[in-house]
Amino acid sequence: MARLKTARHRVSGGHEIQIQEAGEGPAVVFIHGSGPGASGASNFRGNIDAFVAAGFRVILPDLIGYGASSKPEGIDYTLQLFTDTLHEALVAHGIERAVLVGNSLGGGIALQMTLDHPAFAEKLVLMAPGCVAEREAYFVMPGIAKMVSNFGGPDFNLDEQRRLIGNLLHAEAHHLITEELVAERFEVARTQPKDVIVRMRTPDLSPHLGKIAQPVFVLWGLNDEFCPESHARLFLERCPNVRAITFAHTGHWVQVERAAEFNRYVVEFLR
């Protein structure tokens, strides 16, 4: 894998956001989703080299509450908090305009950032994006219900971490769950407060999709247990410039489960 350079930026509220990067060229910001142990590098490790080789500057932030970024306790983790702290860190990192690539919660953040700062976002690539339904609609999805009930506490261990990663993937992709991935995400999960999941507050952005003029590429797994694949139609119906692909036998992690296809399709979309 390409060598990653690491920087930390202090943002509003006294929080710190870590950003890793590799490559040179137009900036592509990969925004990870939620869940125990999530981080930029662990969510997109199978995509970094392909985008660097294609001539892009790969930007891998850790969201507030995740990875090596600050993990405050006793607060609501709102979509606006995620978006504002990330945008502030990206600007501090010297990025003025970028492609935003977001998975799950990261897709919702990409949408909010585009609505808030339309000149910042060049194009959007969204893999099973969240925040296009009410929060309660997501929390009854089987994958999220399992994640919330199993996250944290004294009994949280490597087996639980492995099981939670497995929930993200279709059964045919479980061979991708390596011990290195489990250990990497477990080390992050041990430092995360439960607030990052149970006090997450996200709005329904679907009424605003028509305001997004940038080209949008939506990719979704048919067997996603976190964000229903039927939500792809919301983008097709409301965004003025959108394309969508659905993958059979694929769960919530299109960029992991179908990495080679994801890399090829997205690089072509960005050129």
Q: Is the pLDDT of residue 14 over 70?
A: yes
Give the pLDDT of residue 101: 98
Overall number of domains in the chain: 1
139-160 pLDDT, tens digit each: 778 777 776 666 666 678 999 8
Give the pLDDT of residue 96: 95
Which pair of tokens denotes residue 176?
Answer: 């991708």
Q: What is the CATH number of the domain that holds 13?
A: 3.40.50.1820
Give the pLDDT of residue 148: 65
Question: d(Cα 247, Cα 215) in Å, to the nearest integer?
Answer: 20
Give the pLDDT of residue 103: 97
Question: d(Cα 24, Cα 69) in Å, to the nearest integer?
Answer: 24
**Higher-confidence position of 148 and 239:** 239
Question: d(Cα 212, Cα 259) in Å, to the nearest integer?
Answer: 27
Across residues 194-222, what is the average pLDDT? 96
Catalytic residue among 9, 15, 32, 252: 252
Give the pLDDT of residue 150: 63
Across residues 47-59, what is the average pLDDT? 98
**Higher-confidence position of 98 and 35:** 98
Give the pLDDT of residue 151: 67
Give the pLDDT of residue 1: 76
In sequence order, the β-bridge partners of residue 103 are: 127
58 closest CA partner among 24, 31, 82: 24
Which pair of tokens denotes residue 250?
Answer: 């694929």
Averaged pLDDT score across all residues of the chain: 94
103 closest CA partner among 164, 42, 173: 42
Q: Is the pLDDT of residue 221 over 70?
A: yes
97-131 pLDDT, tens digit each: 999 999 999 999 999 999 999 999 999 999 999 99
Q: How distant, in Å, are the alpha carbons of 96, 98, 270 from that of 122? A: 10, 6, 10
pLDDT band at 12 (very low <50, low <70, confident <90, very high): very high
Domain that holds residue 225: 5-270
252 among known catalytic residues: yes
Give the pLDDT of residue 153: 61
b/e 149-168 (16+ beta carbons within 10 angstroms → b)? ebbbeeebeeebbbebbbbb
Give the pLDDT of residue 136: 80
Q: What's the pTM?
A: 0.95
174-201 pLDDT, tens digit each: 999 999 999 999 999 999 998 998 899 9
Across residues 77-83, what is the average pLDDT? 98
Q: Residue 259: which H helix or E strand, with range?
A: helix 259-270
